[in-house]
Amino acid sequence: MYVHLISNINYIFQIMITGFRNDTKLAIYGINIRKYKTLLDLSNMSSMQKEDLLKNIGRNIKNLRESKGLSQVDLVGLIEGKIDTTNISRIEAGRTNPTIHTLYRIAIALDVKLQDLVSS
């Protein structure tokens, strides 16, 4: 199964889900100028690694938000579509797994690349 999301003019994100039952694998690829580059590969991560990844993404969002002088309420006001302030709080704390679409909307609201949210 492939799902394509366009994040901006330079990147297309492709989500690939393969496998059956307990052997399901998920990989997210950033396609840039026709070269495949793995953005996130969650297929072989332990639950602790995934938890650390979510906390890192949340920390990145919080740091970017604060560097722009925005409160969580301000950020919610900039995000296209409906999102709750408590959801932003959970994302920043690493307590929830945001969808790629939510991360995309946050990146647009913060005027940064999606890659900036997920980088280490």
pLDDT of 7 > 80? The answer is no
Residue 99 pLDDT grade (very low, low, confident, very high; cuts 50, 70, 90): confident
Residue 30 has pLDDT above 70, yes or no: no
pLDDT of residue 93: 95
For range 80-95, the mean pLDDT: 90
For the cut 80, the answer to whether the pLDDT of residue 96 exceeds it is: yes
Question: Looking at residues 38-63, what average pLDDT do you find?
Answer: 81
pTM for the structure as a whole: 0.65
Which pLDDT score is estimated for 18?
47
pLDDT for 50 equals 84
Domain count, the chain: 1
pLDDT on residue 31:
45
For residue 106, the domain's CATH number is 1.10.260.40
Query: 62 lies in which domain range?
Result: 2-118
Which pLDDT score, from 0 to 100, does residue 109 have?
A: 94
Query: 45: burial class by Cβ within 10 Å (0-12, 13-18, 19+)?
Result: middle
Beta strands in 19-114 (DSSP E): 25-32, 35-41
DSSP for 16-46 reads EEE-SGGG-EEEEEEEETTEEEEEEE-TT--
